[in-house]
């Protein structure tokens, strides 16, 4: 009995020092005297937790234009992009149809990355021949592309942007009847993309 009591005392003493033991500590809470130090340590976490789980963190695709990981300013983008890349990626422009570098580009392998931030967006085997005048993809690398409703020009379209920098890629259209697995067409400006045959997803980097 005495040995058991000693073990319990040691556990009680040790638990508050471990941040990952919150659940266990809560289970043991009734017999534990709550010290002033514990209250002071716990208090600052309460607002953090309520904001973390509160409704303010609910994803709102219409209002998260400031939440991209790459937060470069327009000045910073202008320093690294060509005027045409800046017009399309950062000002939501569109290249003229049938003029883009990747419009009639059908490699057997490789990755199309964001021309702004280099995030991988599409694999070569996502691309299909649509004859629409711009590169067309039926799917993207998971999570790489974010969708927004675009109500400009009196139409309701779905804009697609790079999930890492918010750079404008083009629009996605659904239900057009193309014989692809998704029946979606990501209509992307070539200017927004940069192709590399050796990928860019980091698979070969371990051998460096």
Active site residue ranges:
187
What is the CA 35 to chain-centroid distance, rounded?
Answer: 42
Query: CA dihedral defined by 19, 24, 29, 30, rounded to 10 degrees?
Result: -170
Query: Is 115 or 187 the residue whose CB approaches Zn ion more closely?
Result: 115
164 binds Zn ion (CB under 5 A): yes
Residue of 162, 188, 191, 193 that binds Zn ion (CB under 5 A): 162
Residue of 81, 111, 117, 172 that binds Zn ion (CB under 5 A): 117
Query: Is 10 or 196 the residue whose CB approaches Zn ion more closely?
Result: 196
| Dist. CA 181–CA 204, nearest whole Å | 28
- The enclosing H or E element of 39 equals helix 36-42
Residue of 100, 110, 135, 167 that binds Zn ion (CB under 5 A): 167
- Give the three-state DSSP class for 92: coil
Distances (CA, A) of 12 to 18, 164, 199: 11, 45, 53
116 binds Zn ion (CB under 5 A): yes
Residue of 136, 144, 145, 165 that binds Zn ion (CB under 5 A): 165
Query: Is 8 or 82 the residue whose CB approaches Zn ion more closely?
Result: 82
- The enclosing H or E element of 149 equals strand 145-150
User: Applying CB under 5 A, what is the total number of residues that bind Zn ion?
Assistant: 8
**Which residues in this chain contact Zn ion in the complex, by CB under 5 A?**
114, 116-117, 119, 162, 164-165, 167
């Amino acid at each position: 009995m005495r040995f058991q009591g000693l073990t319990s005392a040691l556990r009680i003493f040790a638990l508050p020092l471990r941040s990952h033991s919150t659940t266990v500590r809560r289970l043991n809470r009734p017999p534990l005297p709550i010290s002033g130090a514990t209250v002071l340590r716990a208090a600052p976490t309460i607002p953090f937790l309520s904001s973390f789980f509160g409704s303010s963190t609910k994803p709102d695709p219409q209002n998260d234009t400031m939440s991209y990981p790459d937060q470069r300013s327009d000045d910073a983008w202008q320093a690294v992009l060509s005027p045409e890349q800046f017009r399309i990626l950062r000002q939501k422009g569109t290249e003229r149809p049938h003029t883009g570098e990747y419009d009639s580009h059908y490699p057997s392998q490789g990755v199309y990355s964001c021309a702004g931030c280099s995030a991988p967006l599409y694999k070569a085997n996502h691309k299909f021949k649509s004859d629409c005048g711009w590169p067309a993809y039926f799917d993207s690398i998971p999570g790489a592309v974010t969708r927004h409703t675009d109500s400009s020009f009196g139409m309701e379209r779905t804009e697609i942007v790079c999930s890492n920098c918010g750079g404008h890629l083009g629009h996605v259209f659904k239900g057009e009847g193309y014989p692809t697995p998704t029946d979606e067409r990501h209509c992307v400006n070539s200017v927004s993309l940069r192709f590399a045959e050796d990928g860019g997803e980091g698979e070969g980097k371990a051998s460096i």
